[in-house]
Amino acid sequence: MEMRLNPGSDIISNLPDHVIETILVHLPIRDAVRTSVLSHKWRYKWATIPELVFDDYSIPPPFFDHNTILTAQDVIIHMHKLVNSIDRVLLLHNGLVHKFDLSTRFLNDSFIDSWILFLSRNGIKELTLKYRGEKHYRVPYSFFSCQAITCLKLLCCILEPPFVFKGFSHLKSLNLHSVILSDDVFETIISNCIALERLRVIELYGCTHFKIRGLNLQHLYFQGELTHICFIDAPRLSFVSIFLQNSLLEHVGRGDSCNLVQVLGPLTGLEKLATEGFFIKFLAIGNVPVRLPVTYDRLKSISLVMNFEDLNETLVMLCLLQSSPNLHELEIVHDDADFADLEEDFWKAQGQLDCSMNHLRVVRVSDIVWLQPELQFMKFVLANSPVLEILSVIRKSDIIFDETKMMEELLRFERASSIAEIVYNPNL
Amino acid sequence: MAQESTGSEHSHQVRSSSVYLFMVGSYLQMSEGDMAVIKPEAMKSYIWLQTADGSIQQVEEEVAMFCPMIRQDILTGMGSSKNYTISLPRQVNPAIMSLILDYCRFHQVPGRSNKERKSFDEKFIRMDTKRLCELTSAADSLQLKSLVDLTSRVLARMIEGRTPEEIRETFHLPDDLTEEEKLEPLRNTADDPRIRRLNQLYARKRKELKQKDKLKNVEVEEDRVDERSVDDLLSFINGGDEDSKGVSAAKHKKKNHRRKDQSMDSSSINVNKNHMKSDILSSVCCNGDVNNALMQSLGKTSKVQDVANDTFAPEVEFDDGDIDDELDPAMKEELDREVEDFARILNSEWPERMQEILTSGQERRVVPMSMNGDDSLGRFTSANQAAWCLSVHAETLYQMRNNLRSAYSFRFFEKRLLLRTAVVTIQNAL
């Protein structure tokens, strides 16, 4: 027990508590807890940190990353170590826990239940549960009483709230990945979480009808399968990105009108739209109009994954272009599907349209295979964009034929903009 | 004052490009607003700051505005002149102040890219640890959150992955926790397998120590018993009540009884055995008249005692050299034989016994051989009684031996009883 230097030369322990907490929060939890053996003053400095982040590296080595194949005994040992660590830390922790992060492949249901109960009593605000195991973890009822929660991320969980659940009134950001929940539960959560601003949903199971309602909702990312989606009362929704992964699609539009009108019609505040997978196909079901009944005045960026040889999809794309007078940025990725119903002279007919994209500055066309419709589209864009700055062309990487003829043709297209540049990326 | 404040308002309107024109000192007619000829110093507005040690410093206003705390003060009108300086918190000394101002001067420019800012930060934080901590403290007092965050990350990097010793070295922390405090209450955290192993070893060690303690108690008693001189043994035999005292007083006799020690300290006896021994012997001794008779007789015959001392000193030594801890079968047989002999001896008639004793010992220089001869009936009776007691207890001894399975204790008993017998013999002879 030697006092090496006089207390005056201790340069760090006298920093204010919140500064020390900031320092400790930047440490992995193991290192933070181990500061308790540094000196008398540091004994319990870690115990008030408001953020606790655990993962499979929070226990002493050896570590198993998510790719290692483990024996059953390894699993049990690792799980016990992790459970003990977390139990201990929670028990010794003193004060509110604002952020709790758990990401592991080894979970023991009953323990997490008790941890969630603990957190619900200690003012949890940001909760992340990422279970990378095989089963899904069913969240306990105490989870639904975490009223202060503002940010929630769940991976591989099952959400079955009690009947009395009235949503998280402070929830701002919700991220669900591989979560099992029913249509009703989803709707309850979305509509009752009135402060919700960001919604990120990836592969929900058990939920096919999505009714998105949110007065404060600004950002939506969806990936997965759905049969029905509608936006009710989402005036502030500005970012929508949907990656549709099921090919069996239904017509949800009223009467004859296409899905595009039905689904995206109400979103007048859109600023950025992105579609991937089969979503544009979904939007194209029905009678696609030339122009939408509404204009997206604020829509600045569109990103589509579409098949240039598909008539309906092309029509949808054109419809969007027509309805977005203030578009700045356009990105189209060609999806090489075995389906072609675009007539030869389609684009020639479009040439007659008065479609001036007066603000379009950047256009990116990717994964092209030098099809005629692709070239025709690029010709169309070049001819109708007076302020175009860059047309970036990225070809598909496995092309073997000679492209020089197509490239020359592209370079010869008439450009409405004097400063337009064509940038070619071979994507080797 | 008012003029100056107007001047500063204008300086906000006029962007930095215009300001630098005036740095040269030339006068230029401005077409914007109602700006007449304005002195260059007023174009670029300065704020006056005072550190805790009293030194005053001038700083460009936009740089100072980057600090929330200073900004508040500026907005309330302070810092505009030398007489109305903004006092900085005590954590800010002039050297640190200049560092902070460098930081603010770089970051307050809005046009910089994230990459630029990051690379500046990386270079900026290269300083010794002490200064870094001072900087953190100062930045916190000025509510400069981004700088606090930056320095905190750096300090965290210095802590992460290091051993406690290294961390203490870096930050000059005193090592003022006891070893136990260091281990608890996180001892059982599956934190360190080494700690767990250590605990297992500790537990095992503790157990062993406990056992050793028990043994030691026994051994100590045993040693104590061992180390008694013949006097003590005699008094032990003859004075039942003084048993315990006798036992405890005997430690210092170690030197004289080397041979005994060699033989005896390897056995393991526990306290219970001793208790049993003393119980039985005391019961033997306290068997009423016999005891008294013996004592009295002994009391008179102190001389005899001395003689007995000399006489029996060699007697006391059995060939204990070959006694060891465990009873091997050969030993067992020997002991069995001895017990049987012993019992037979005790149960036989006294006179025969005396004969045996008289004829057996070459070592015996029993002077009182001459004393053998006439037995008065009374004495014989008492001796008989004694013998009877002894014989009874021989059986008990036998049982005890079987229970205890200890060569030593048996030997000891044997010794004792033989001694007793001898005493009785002498008494009879008297």
pLDDT at A4: 44
Q: Is the pLDDT of residue A292 over 70?
A: yes
In this complex, do A60 and B178 lie within 8 Å of one another by their Cβ atoms? no
B204 pLDDT band (50/70/90 cuts)?
confident
pLDDT 10s digits, B193-203: 665 676 677 67
Query: What ipTM was assigned to the predicted interfaces of this complex?
Result: 0.78
Say what the pLDDT of residue A326 is.
92
Pairing of strands B56-60, A421-425: unpaired
Report the CATH fold assignment for B46-171: Potassium Channel Kv1.1; Chain A (3.30.710)
- pLDDT of A299 strictly over 60: yes
pLDDT at B349: 52
Query: A24-73: per-residue pLDDT in tens?
Result: 999 999 889 888 888 888 888 899 999 999 988 888 776 666 667 777 88
Which tens digit of pLDDT belongs to each residue from A217-245? 999 999 999 888 889 888 899 999 999 99
Mean pLDDT lowest for which of A372-381, B30-39, B51-60, B86-95?
B30-39
Per-state percent for chain B, helix, strand, coil, to nearest 5: 70, 5, 30
- Secondary structure element (H or E) that encloses residue B399, with its range: helix B377-404
pLDDT tens digits for B295-327?
Answer: 444 444 444 444 444 443 343 333 433 444 444
Domain ranges of chain B: 46-171
Query: Ranked by mean pLDDT, which of A173-187, A251-265, B276-290 comes out on top?
Result: A173-187
Nearest partner of A273 among A311, A326, A224, A215, judged by Cα? A326
Reported pTM? 0.63
Report yes or no: B150 and A18 within 8 Å, Cβ to Cβ.
Answer: no
- Which pLDDT belongs to residue A317? 92
pLDDT of residue B177: 77
Which residues in chain B touch residue A37, judged by CB atoms under 8 angstroms apart?
Answer: 164, 177, 182
Q: Where are the alpha helices (DSSP H) in A93-137?
A: 109-121
Average pLDDT value for chain A: 88
Q: What mean pLDDT do residues A173-188 have?
A: 93
Judge whether A38 is closer than 8 Å to chain B, CB to CB: yes
- pLDDT of residue B109 exceeding 80: yes
State which H helix or E strand residue B367 sits in.
Answer: none
Note the pLDDT of residue A356. 80
- CA of A188 vs chain B CAs: smallest distance (Å): 39
Burial of residue A233, with CB atoms counted within 10 A of its CB: 0-12 exposed, 13-18 middle, 19 or more buried: middle
Q: Report the candidate in B175, B234, B273 with the shortest Cα–Cα distance to residue B422.
A: B234
Q: Give the model's confidence band at A198: pLDDT under 50 very low, under 70 low, under 90 confident, else very high.
A: very high
Average pLDDT over residues A179-190: 91
Tell me how far apart the alpha carbons of residues B49 and B54 are, in angstroms, rounded to a whole number: 10
pLDDT of residue B285: 42
- Nearest 5°: phi and psi at A164? -80, 0
Across B151-179, average pLDDT? 87
- Residue-level pLDDT at B283: 44
Chain A residue numbers with beta carbons less than 8 Å from the beta carbon of B149 are 22
C-beta atoms of A10 and B172 within 8 A? yes
The CA distance from B62 to the nearest CA of chain A, in Å, is 26
Select, from the ranges A251-265, B218-232, B416-430, the one with the highest average predicted confidence (pLDDT).
Answer: A251-265
Given A13, A28, A38, which is nearest B160 (Cβ)?
Answer: A28
Is the pLDDT confidence value at B68 over 50? yes
Name which of A281-290, A365-374, A405-414, B224-233 the model is least confident about.
Answer: B224-233
> Of A172-176, B55-59, B345-349, which range is least confident?
B345-349
Rounded-to-integer distance, Cα A304 and Cα A295, Å? 18
- Interface A-B, measured as beta-carbon pairs within 8 A, has a size of 111
| Angstroms from B181 CA to nearest CA on chain A | 8
